[in-house]
Chain A
């Protein structure tokens, strides 16, 4: 899915970003770069710091420590320069509910020189949004579609989606995913997609960043993540009360003689370690992003 670029232009550069709310560190030294054309899935538990990170990219939060550059600009110092290139859709929606759909489209269009009215009309028709409908009277799903329309109609260089499909029905979720895929199809567009629905992230992302308690715990290509994570089933000669302590095992399940590990890396090392403990590997398989997420989240919690 990732398209090749001769010179990878950095669209987002976050360096050692720190943000605290009272005593709690919402972001703790986060560093991240996103190159043009990348589709990055941002995953993490509730309160992990995903929304805080996205708000920094939008300039809604000032960096307490560290730096944030989007298109090479500081989003706090130059909001028009940055925001005019970003299409943003959040879980909250936050559209002005007193506006009608046509008013929202007309108002939003004024801010983006690249607004494509034909595309806006096409999306509006596709989403079934009547011009004279007041946003306050629309259902949550229809409001999300209206938000998606204004986030996409100017063909943004960077599309930021913060839990956009949270609490929405499968049809609206399909629309949102479809929009991401179409944006990706536009050469050079970049997408940052934060979601709890890892199956969706898996569908569209070519790189995944996992945030845990304000820190980046995993940042890699999706394909590489899936290649390097394995589920390994094993049996031991004697029953065990505790899971074996082996470096590289992210999570353990099981009991007695039968154990299962979520293993990061080559299984050859694990095989030797298990053999030394009087056991043997019986089965090795791939794992879903869901399992990897849960394993890393549990590891972080420990």
Chain B
């Protein structure tokens, strides 16, 4: 038993404060649940639930002892722990049991001591088993070395998503709690076996223990020297290539994956309707359900990427850039430009892919009218007046610009020298956004109120001034860091003013062209224009330049 505690202590040592904070959070929730209900409003109570999943997943990861990138081929189990003179069982069983107990107990406390007293009839047992299955699946996937890291990444995403969705879907189809629990229990046993086997493989595989490749590898007599691709025309094109490989292509790839996943139900969701006697027609009902969501997929992924979901490879150990990247003979301005251009190219390609998919969907029969199959295009788009068609085009442009914006503002996260700051950024943004949303519900904000345009204009005006003020402060700091770049700053401000103007005009026109009643009363001029100007990045591009300057020249 002592051995088990030692293994666990070694594993969770890095996250020890997090376990304490998460435990305190749960205790806090239990106390709050026993306070009079009216003391905490529903939106605030809902907001307090948000850190649960984040905290639970992070603490469960502690039991994985993740010391390798999820997309790397090596086992993520600490290499030096793999070499401890212990049986594989000791290294595997205690972390598996601890992760299972921690995951299940956290949910049971959360559901029975917070959700239920607040009047939410949350199931207890199958979600507890779900979290056990999730923990064990992560251990089994991350402990086992893979030939290719990308495969591990795909398997991890697919498995955890499937585990999470299964319970929700099964509950939606009215499966009994016992039946769902049984499926999860079987999964738990299977993943436990896989985790054990994966760890055994990690201990015996020479490439697994993060020793890396064969250290004795030396010059091979069969060296293949290939030079098929043309040289880059300039450092800028080379840097663009780098940024495209690192970040630019991620959005079109993820969007294609998302759109493909959304398109899968097209194969299944058919509706057959009898027309005359034996004659029947088939239409795809999934299209009418899912079509409106398609244009939002790139925006969703761009937001996730923009928050720094992919660890930047320019950043090495804490506070230090990788020397190869930092010593490129290129100005920080050109580095940043290359990144922005790669993001722009990725967003444009994504827009083409999305529009192409939507057009394809629009032509597939999706409904039945008067006994004939009709497509989404025939039913909803072909009959649109030209003005409304232009409105759709305007909305597509606005959405593409928004997608670009959400990815571009995150460039500074990529350049932050501090790993911890980069990790904290998404948490701050998500929790800050959720808090703002909850408080707006708490205040019962009414966007149909006649006074709403006035106060919303005032709010957006203040935010816009804050943004300009922050940008001014950042630009002054940038001038101090790089005295020669004041001309660039003026040109950056002029560019922002131009794009803010275009965005304001586009949003203003959309608000004007929308049919009456389609938008809430609050969205009257100048609210859309101010909102558009707020969306155009200004302060964070300066912050990105500062982060890059500070990272390269500390």
Contact = CB atoms under 8 A, between A and B. Distances in A.
Interface of A: 58-62, 76-77, 79-84, 86, 88, 90, 92-98, 102, 106-107, 109-112, 117, 121, 124-132, 136-142, 147, 169, 171
11 contacts: A62-B553, A76-B553, A86-B327, A92-B316, A98-B245, A109-B238, A110-B231, A111-B328, A111-B329, A129-B223, A131-B225
- Interface size on B, as a range, is 35 or more
A95 B324 contact: yes
A128 B227 contact: no
B554 interface: yes
Contacts of A137: 213
A292 B108 CA distance: 68
Contacts of B237: 110
Contacts of B238: 106-107, 109-111
A149 to B, nearest CB: 11
Nearest to A130: B224
A92 B327 CA distance: 14
Interface in B310-326: 313, 316, 321-326
Contacts of B227: 102, 117, 121, 131
Interface in B174-219: 212-219
B274 interface: no
A69 to B, nearest CB: 15
B313 A98 contact: yes
Contact of B241 (A76, A107, A138, A169): A107
Given A77-B482, A121-B225, 4 more contacts: A59-B552, A61-B553, A110-B238, A130-B220
A111 B235 contact: yes
Contacts of B331: 79-80
Interface of B: 72, 212-227, 229, 231-235, 237-238, 241-242, 245, 313, 316, 321-332, 482-484, 552-554
Contact of A60 (B222, B313, B553): B553
Nearest to B217: A139
Nearest to B484: A77
Contacts of A112: 329
A82 B218 CA distance: 33
Contacts of A58: 323, 326-327
A128 B329 contact: no
A116 B331 CA distance: 23
A121 B483 CA distance: 40
A139 to B, nearest CB: 4
A126 B223 CA distance: 9
Contacts of B215: 139-141
Given A96-B313, A131-B225, A141-B215, A79 B235 contact: no
Nearest to A98: B313
Contact of B225 (A61, A83, A88, A124): A124
Contacts of A106: 229, 231-232, 238
A62 B216 CA distance: 39
Contacts of A171: 218-219
Contacts of B329: 79-84, 111-112
Contact of B554 (A60, A81, A127): A60
Contacts of B232: 106-107, 109-110
Contacts of A141: 215, 217-218
B219 A140 contact: no
A109 B325 CA distance: 14
B226 A102 contact: yes
A51 B90 CA distance: 42
Contacts of A84: 329
Given A62-B553, A121-B225, A129-B223, A110 B234 contact: yes
Contacts of B241: 107
Contacts of A90: 323
Given A111-B238, A141-B218, A79 B552 contact: yes
